[in-house]
Chains A and B, each alone.
Chain A
Amino acid sequence: NAGVTQTPKFQVLKTGQSMTLQCAQDMNHEYMSWYRQDPGMGLRLIHYSVGAGITDQGEVPNGYNVSRSTTEDFPLRLLSAAPSQTSVYFCASSPRAENTGELFFGEGSRLTVL
């Protein structure tokens, strides 16, 4: 059972480039989310979705775009990468849309922007 799968695991970008981080879950979870993790700052929510076709902003949405066309997939797009977006990105899902906080995480995508 795959759970939450993130690709790529590592990526290096130049400032101004765009890219998409992929996230897929095979647990039929309603809720999916993207976090970034930076040293000493815990996790910060970027965007989340409570179901196909429904997305909303989290704490730090600027510079990122998401869509949820299917229950399984929730890609995160960086529109024009900046060095401040160097971080580790985690996708997480939860069975129910109301999100009791029981999140299932992917293994992370480490992004470096030069």
Chain B
Amino acid sequence: AQSVTQLGSHVSVSEGALVLLRCNYSSSVPPYLFWYVQYPNQGLQLLLKYTTGATLVKGINGFEAEFKKSETSFHLTKPSAHMSDAAEYFCAVSELGNYQLIWGAGTKLIIKP
């Protein structure tokens, strides 16, 4: 069965530092890949997605992610963290024609001043 692993339930970085949130999936078929962000006491919102084409995907708020098929990874990065980036981030995958997303457990990003 398809699964999604997010390495680290909490990641702490200093303001201005690189943000790297890791996501690995298990699939024999290239899936659709997503990152969602959840700010405190809010619903989730789509940050970026990969379906086909260019493997480096840019999203909102300066985030980007790269699909690496050989590594079955879709890590999320941002060159310079901002205090407003503090939130929980979820990686998710789906397969064409499948009605269900498979979710990672989430990574809480903490920004140190």
Q: Quick one: CB contact mask for B82-104 with A, threshold 8 Å, 1 for yes?
A: 00000000101110111111011
B7-48 CB contacts (< 8 Å) to partner A:
9, 32, 34, 36, 41-46
The contact of A48 among B42, B96, B99, by CB within 8 Å, is B99
Report yes or no: B49 in contact with A101, Cβ–Cβ below 8 A: yes
In the complex, the number of residue pairs spanning A and B with C-beta atoms less than 8 Å apart equals 65
Report yes or no: A40 in contact with B94, Cβ–Cβ below 8 A: no
In this complex, what residue of A is CB-closest to B101?
A: A101
**Interface size grouping (class) on chain A:** 20 to 34
Q: Give chain A nearest CB distance to B94 CB in angstroms.
A: 4
Report yes or no: B94 in contact with A99, Cβ–Cβ below 8 A: yes
B51 at the interface (CB under 8 A from A): yes
A74 at the interface (CB under 8 A from B): no
Q: What residues of chain B lie closer than 8 Å to A101, measured between beta carbons?
A: 32, 34, 49, 92-94, 101
The contact of B106 among A42, A90, A108, by CB within 8 Å, is A42
Report yes or no: A43 in contact with B43, Cβ–Cβ below 8 A: no
30 A-B pairs (CB sep. < 8 Å): A31-B99, A40-B9, A42-B103, A42-B104, A42-B105, A43-B103, A44-B103, A45-B101, A48-B99, A50-B99, A59-B100, A90-B44, A98-B96, A98-B99, A99-B100, A100-B32, A100-B49, A100-B51, A100-B94, A101-B34, A101-B49, A101-B92, A101-B93, A101-B101, A102-B34, A102-B46, A103-B36, A103-B101, A107-B43, A108-B43
**Given pairs A4-B43, A42-B103, 16 additional interface contacts (CB within 8 A):** A40-B106, A42-B90, A43-B103, A44-B103, A45-B101, A48-B99, A90-B43, A90-B44, A99-B99, A101-B34, A101-B93, A102-B34, A103-B46, A106-B43, A107-B42, A108-B41
Residues of A within 8 A of B (CB): 4, 31, 40-45, 48, 50, 56, 58-59, 90, 92, 97-103, 105-108
